[in-house]
Amino acid sequence: MINKIYKRIHNKYSTLFRFIFFLRYLIVIFLLSAGLFLLSPHLLDLKKKDKPIKNYLSENYALTLNHYENIKYSSLPKPNFEIQNANVGIKQNTITINVTSLIIYPKLNSIYNFKNLEVNEIFLNKNQIQLLDSNFKVLIDYIYDLKNKVTFKNLNIKIKRNKEHLINLKKIHFSNHGYNKNKIKGEIFDKKFKILINDNQNKIKFKLPKTGITADINFDNTKEDKASGVFKLSLLNLKTKFNFNYDEKKLNIYNFYFRSKNLSFNSKSTITYLPFFFSTSIFQIEDINTKLLKSININKILDFRNFIQKLNIKNVISFKSKNFSRNLIDDLNLNINLSYGRLTFSKKVYISEDFLSCNGNINLLKEYPILHFDCSIISNNKKNFLKKFSVKYKEKDQSIELNVIGNINVLNNKINFKKITMNENYKASKEDLNYYKQSFESILFNKDFIGIFDLDNIKDFILEIS
């Protein structure tokens, strides 16, 4: 019975079984053929085929292959030609890139047919670019104008201006296709960043993930050498927003507002960077926590002397206290000019009906900068004036006209008084000047230069010399 069933099945399906067993030979033949097709290019001397590759890169990617070390073929994970240690020019060598590995992924029908080379995408890995800041936009435009698929990985960019280093962008990864299209990842100041750009390139979102910093740029107008828009920045409790427009020579910033827990202000600025750097700004302070002054570190600021030497700025800072506030200062106007390391300032302060003014200058490039000052105080009511510093004074309606001239060594915390006069009947003697010097240094300079802004120290000094 079993034999009959076996014969019946064998007779009915024998043709099918024979076809299946025959297929195994076809599969083996197919695999061998495919293997030979994919592996045979390993035997080719690809350096002799570099001319069509160069032409294709030039015509389709605007890349000029200046020189290279070797061209290597790999069949896995998918067929590709790897150009090793190449120097590549962008847009007729306007910008040059040193590429450790430039990988070309050709279509299968182009593995042997170099004359009609067709490519799916190219991949540039471990790249180094040094460029002037004026050419940075050329690089950005090149990347976004490309219609053919390209991916940059481990791209390091060093940006310079007039042979001076500006900034390093490291480990940049970018692709103009697929899931990572219009996403830029990399490092700046050794911090990882992400940039998202929409297809129209008029909205950019910047993130420093581990710092909580996010920034948005919305362009409302972009031309070849001009652009304008709105910039927003958020960092924890800090928020800022401003409008901008810039061209190849200057940047204008307006409607600027800054808000944080300890400081709020509005401002507008003009930054000119060609033919030389120059900046002018107007700051209107709305609120400030004076404890911020204690966080200023003069030594760290002076560590950047090389940078300070290049600055050329003019700033106007003003502050007007709100009604019913507890601020000591009612009105402040401060002008600061910095040029070639020399800072000059003039300050006018109103405390109720009392008026303080101060002019001075300092050369920040010197090893031990000396601040020269000429300050005066005018008050019609000495009692009310001292009351602001919590100092009691019995006599009423006594006026003050005090003038002080001297200099301060901001690093050594030393002061020298050259002249002190009050009203028309007092001029400090040498002994008095020396006494004021010792008292000032022991009380106001008890820690560092910033101690001169501490109200408790000011109170103690006034009580000491009264």
Instruction: Please count the other Cβ atoms lying within 10 Å of the Cβ belonging to residue 111.
Output: 19
Q: What angle (nearest 5°) sits at the alpha carbon of residue 308, between those of residues 211 and 270?
A: 75
Q: What is the pLDDT confidence band of residue 255, given thresholds at 50, 70 and 90? A: very high
* Amino acid at the residue 295: S
Q: What is the pLDDT confidence band of residue 305, given thresholds at 50, 70 and 90? A: confident
Task: Look up tokens 């896995």; give the residue.
Answer: 76
Q: What is the pLDDT confidence band of residue 46, given thresholds at 50, 70 and 90? A: low
Q: Which helix (H) or strand (E) holds 386?
A: helix 382-387
Mean pLDDT (the chain) is 80
Residue 274 has pLDDT above 70, yes or no: yes
Q: Please, where are the H alpha helices in 40-109? A: 50-61
So what's the pLDDT on residue 131?
A: 82
So what's the pLDDT on residue 6?
A: 47
The mean-pLDDT minimum among 233-237, 312-316, 382-386 falls in 382-386
Instruction: Please write the tens of the pLDDT for every residue from 280-292.
Output: 999 998 888 777 7
Q: What is the pLDDT confidence band of residue 37, given thresholds at 50, 70 and 90? A: very low
Contact present, 239 and 249 (Cβ < 8 Å): no
Task: Look up tokens 């995408």; give the residue.
Answer: 121
Chain-centroid distance of CA 255 in Å reads: 21
On whether the pTM is more than 0.75, the answer is no
Q: What is the pLDDT confidence band of residue 183, given thresholds at 50, 70 and 90? A: confident
Region 134-154: mean pLDDT is 82
Distances (CA, A) of 158 to 64, 128, 130, 171: 21, 8, 5, 12
Region 312-340: mean pLDDT is 82
Residue 81 has pLDDT above 90, yes or no: no
d(CA 95, CA 141): 12
Tokens standing for residue 61: 């990617």
Task: Look up tokens 């103690």; give the residue.
Answer: 460
Tokens standing for residue 425: 């009947």
So what's the pLDDT on residue 280?
A: 93
Strands (E) located in 30-147? 63-67, 70-74, 80-90, 95-106, 119-132
The mean-pLDDT minimum among 61-65, 188-192, 327-331, 406-410 falls in 327-331
230 closest CA partner among 221, 219, 222: 219
Q: What is the pLDDT confidence band of residue 105, given thresholds at 50, 70 and 90? A: confident
Q: What is the pLDDT confidence band of residue 439, given thresholds at 50, 70 and 90? A: confident
Instruction: Please write the tens of the pLDDT for every residue from 199-252.
Output: 777 888 888 887 778 889 888 876 666 788 899 988 877 889 999 988 878 889
Please state the φ and ψ torsions of residue 50, each to the nearest 5 degrees.
Answer: -75, -20
The mean-pLDDT minimum among 33-42, 156-165, 414-423 falls in 33-42
So what's the pLDDT on residue 450?
A: 63
* Amino acid at the residue 360: G
d(CA 385, CA 399): 10
Residue 463 has pLDDT above 90, yes or no: no
Strands 213-222 and 342-351: unpaired
Portion of the chain with pLDDT greater than 70, in percent = 81
Residue 17 has pLDDT above 60, yes or no: no
d(CA 136, CA 157): 10
Residue 314 has pLDDT above 90, yes or no: yes
Q: What angle (nearest 5°) sits at the alpha carbon of residue 382, between those of residues 381 and 385?
A: 90
DSSP type of residue 209: T
Task: Look up tokens 């003038």; give the residue.
Answer: 403
Strands 342-351 and 414-422: unpaired
